[in-house]
């Protein structure tokens, strides 16, 4: 049973650039959430996708956008990168039909460094 996968594992960008991160949910899951984890902090919720629509959004600017595809995989896009966007970006999946919607399973994350 494949878990949540994310790509790439590491990424280095410069200020002002744009970045796209990718996530494939756990097998059987149809809901994907994205989180930002700064060093020494807990994960902060960015947004959640279900049925290819953004269902909930945290307190993040519009520079952060996303997409969910028909196969439930998802992308996180960040435009006009700032130094403060450097963090570990985590994807989590959950399944309202197969079980608990509250229970989220995390991927290994993408480490983004903005120079």
Partner 1 sequence: GENVEQHPSTLSVQEGDSAVIKCTYSDSASNYFPWYKQELGKGPQLIIDIRSNVGEKKDQRIAVTLNKTAKHFSLHITETQPEDSAVYFCAATKGGSYIPTFGRGTSLIVHP
Which of these, 35, 45, 114, lies nearest to 80 by C-alpha position? Answer: 114
Smallest gap from Cβ 15 to partner 1, in A, equals: 25
Give the HSE-up count for residue 72: Cα atoms under 13 Å, Cβ half-sphere: 18
Answer yes or no: are the C-beta atoms of 91 and 4 closer than 8 Å: yes
Q: Which of 7, 14, 18, 56 binds partner 1 (CB under 8 A)?
A: 56
Residue 105 interacting with partner 1 (CB under 8 A): yes
Residue 104 interacting with partner 1 (CB under 8 A): yes
Q: Which of 19, 32, 33, 36 binds partner 1 (CB under 8 A)?
A: 33
Q: Which of 30, 32, 85, 109 binds partner 1 (CB under 8 A)?
A: 109
Residue 43 interacting with partner 1 (CB under 8 A): yes
Residue 7 interacting with partner 1 (CB under 8 A): no
């Amino acid at each position: 049973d494949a878990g949540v996968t994310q790509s790439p594992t590491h990424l280095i960008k410069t200020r002002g650039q744009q970045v796209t991160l990718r996530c494939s949910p756990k097998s059987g899951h149809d809901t994907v959430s994205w989180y930002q984890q700064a060093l020494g902090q807990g994960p902060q919720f960015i947004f959640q996708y279900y049925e290819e629509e953004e269902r909930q959004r945290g307190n993040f600017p519009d520079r952060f956008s996303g997409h969910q595809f028909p196969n439930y995989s998802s992308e996180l896009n960040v435009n006009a990168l700032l130094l403060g966007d450097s963090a570990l970006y985590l994807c989590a999946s959950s399944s309202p039909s197969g079980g608990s919607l509250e229970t989220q399973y995390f991927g290994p994350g993408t480490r983004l460094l903005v120079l």
